[in-house]
Amino acid sequence: MEHANDSALRQRAAQVIPNGMYGHMAIGPRMPAGYPQFFSRAEGARLWDVDGREYIDYVCSYGPMIVGYGNSRVNARASAQRKAMDIGNGPAETIVELAERLVGMVAHADWAVFSKNGNDATTTCIMAARAYAGKSKVLVANGAYHGSQPWANRRAPGAPVGEHDAFPTYDYNDSTSLEQAAQACGGDLAGIMVSAFRHDAGYHQELTDPQFAATVRRLCDQYDAALILDDVRAGFRLSLDASWSLLGIRPDLSAWGKALANGEALAATLGSERYREAMASVFVTGSYWYQAAPMAAALETLDILTEEDAPTRLEALGERLRRGIDEIAELHQQRLRQSGPPQMPTIMFEDDPKAERGSAFCSALIERGVYFHPWHNMFLSLAHTEADIDRTLEAVDAAMKAL
């Protein structure tokens, strides 16, 4: 297949961008053959690459897109705010409105602080937890992703030596390993960070064991440490409250981003009353952290998510996809494993540790106009329709035939 525009852009990028592209959007080393690096248009649940090929998108910009690319309601509200004022020497009324809205929606939250990226929000949680406790260590799960800033980034060079000493690890869903890690902090435990569920890239996903969640809460209470929920990736897809509300567990602090403003740059740290004073004592800021247009986009996004009962709708769409794929896989005698909540499915093959089979499957799908990910969780959105799912299933059938 000819991808002339994409190839030309890749060649130009290789001259001026290290590796030709960085991070999770670097196609070259990360994605199977046939995936485009560059896109030119997005609408609803569709993406078009720079060579004009159209895809039904199940990656949703890795999470931010939740009500559809270019959603007219979100665009209109953000544009009106942008026209009136986006940044100034102080924030607009929207910051108060959005904080009120989130405090009303998320049961554990009594206050909000806004920022730009999920990693800003997880970092702010850590600072609030330490400021409250006067202690330094925060436990994180082995392999969990909380952002690419040095404290959160164990996989790559670039962090100062010792940067991760303050972040001992435990194994997700393993209460014993968590208890041991907490004890090993020797009285210096400021917080325990958890994800909505185990959604590490490259692995089958694991839902959170309710017993484990209860242990996290108990240990946080025992050590007077903050339970920090990183809801950046899963936020608003599983629940319109914090994701651990489904387990009956309240975090003390939670981090949000991605879907909050349907793709406008916005993240939030939410916290309970107990952490208000500590948060107030921490100096956090950024030139763009007060931008009003993304906050207006968030208000409209949250309206739509509430009106359409997003978690239930996304679950139904995800179940339709999951059921259909299971039936087709059985027909073709392919040993697939679908994991995670239906709203955020991971689809990988059994006994495929290097994702070779998964990559061949995804390459066959990309040729047929469906954008899947071979080893990262995917996302459903309110812009997907039953007809999209059914068209996707036809492509899945054809791709499996071609394997």
Ligand X SMILES: Cc1ncc(COP(=O)(O)O)c(C=O)c1O
Where along the sequence are the contacts to ligand X (CB under 6 A)? Answer: 62, 117-119, 122, 145-147, 195, 230, 232-233, 257
Q: Structure tokens of 341?
A: 């909540």
Nearest of 317, 334, 316 to residue 396 by alpha carbon: 334
Question: Quick check: 261 and 305 in contact, CB under 8 A?
Answer: no
- Minimum distance of ligand X from residue 116's CB (angstroms): 8
Q: Is 226 in contact with 253 (CB distance < 8 Å)?
A: yes
Q: Would you say 42 or 232 has its CB closer to ligand X?
A: 232
Least separation in angstroms between CB 148 and ligand X: 7
Residue nearest ligand X, Cβ-based: 118
Least distance from C-beta 119 to ligand X, angstroms? 3
Judged by beta carbon, residue 20 or residue 118, the one nearer ligand X is 118
What is the enclosing helix (H) or strand (E) of 348? strand 346-349
Choice between 201 and 316, CB closer to ligand X = 201
Cβ-based nearer residue to ligand X, 233 or 237: 233
- DSSP, collapsed to helix, strand or coil, labels residue 294 as helix
What distances in angstroms separate CA 200 from CA 50, 53, 339, 367, one per listed residue?
A: 30, 30, 12, 27
| Radius of gyration of the chain, Cα coordinates, nearest whole angstrom | 21
Nearer to ligand X, 98 or 360 (CB): 98
Query: In terms of CB distance, is 263 or 364 closer to ligand X?
Result: 263
Q: Give 147 or 342: the residue with its C-beta nearer to ligand X.
A: 147
Residue 27 has which token pair? 């196609």
CB of 374 to ligand X, least distance (A): 17
How near is the Cβ of 267 to ligand X at its closest, in Å?
Answer: 6
Closest approach, Cβ 23 to ligand X, in A, equals 9
CA distance 143 to 200: 6
Secondary structure class of 155 (helix, strand, coil):
coil
Q: Could you tell me whether strands 189-195 and 137-141 are parallel, antiparallel, or unpaired per DSSP bridges?
A: parallel
Report the sign of the C-alpha dihedral through residues 59, 64, 67, 72, in that order: negative
| Residues 301, 282 contacting (CB under 8 angstroms) | no
**Shortest distance, CB of residue 6 to ligand X, whole angstroms?**
24
The dihedrals phi and psi of 293, each to the nearest 5 degrees, come to: -65, -45
Sequence-distant (6+) residues with CB within 8 A of 283 are none
Q: For ligand X, which is the closer residue by CB, 32 or 257?
A: 257
Q: What are phi and psi of 380, to 5 degrees?
A: -95, 160
With H, G, I as helix, E, B as strand and everything else as coil, classify residue 226. Answer: strand
Q: How many CB atoms lie within 10 A of CB 389?
A: 22
Helices (H) and strands (E) in the chain, counts: 12, 13
Please state the φ and ψ torsions of residue 48, each to the nearest 5 degrees.
Answer: -120, 130
Shortest spacing between CB 211 and ligand X, in angstroms = 22
As measured in angstroms, the least distance from the Cβ of 238 to ligand X is 13
Task: For ligand X, give the closer residue by CB, 62 or 111.
Answer: 62
CB of 145 to ligand X, least distance (A): 5
| Nearest-angstrom CA–CA distance, 330 and 306 | 36
Name which of 198 and 217 has its Cβ closer to ligand X: 198
